[in-house]
Homo-oligomer: A and B are copies of this chain.
Amino acid sequence: MSQLYPMKLINIIANGALEERLVNMAEAHGTSGYTILEARGAGSAGLQTGTLEGGSNILFVLIVTESKLAGVMVDVEKLMKRGHHLACFVSDTQVLRREKFAG
């Protein structure tokens, strides 16, 4: 039975314009990497049809160790405090290789 190790799965849904900021954030916290998916939707910032840059969302996925979670959350809250429209949710997950994500 392969061993699984607990990690935190951070999901951030925001306008594509925030991509660079989020990537920098991930790198600043020295995560093993990051994943981005194109998304559409609607929320407090209105309709995001995904057709124009100004109306396109991304789903930014970040797997981090428990220890890194707090730090990332602080940065995400900073963005929200500045007024950026984004949805952030965190779930428990497990990964196959701890060393890969514990950087």
Consensus secondary structure, chain A interface = strand
Task: List, in ascending order, chain B residues with CB within 8 A of A37's CB.
Answer: 37-40, 59
Q: How many copies does the complex hold?
A: 3
Q: Is A18 an interface residue (CB 8 A)?
A: no
Q: Is A97 an interface residue (CB 8 A)?
A: yes
The answer to whether A35 and B41 touch across the interface, beta carbons within 8 angstroms, is yes
For the complex formed, measure the closest distance between the CB of A16 and the CB atoms of chain B, giving whole angstroms: 11
Bound complex: CA of A87 vs CA of B61, how far in Å?
12
Given A33-B44, A34-B41, also A76-B96 (CB < 8 A): yes
Task: List, in ascending order, chain B residues with CB within 8 A of A80's CB.
Answer: 96-97
The answer to whether A35 and B63 touch across the interface, beta carbons within 8 angstroms, is no
Chain A contact residues, CB within 8 Å of chain B? 1-2, 4, 7, 9, 11, 13, 23, 32-44, 57, 59, 61, 63, 70, 73-74, 76-77, 80, 87-97, 100-101
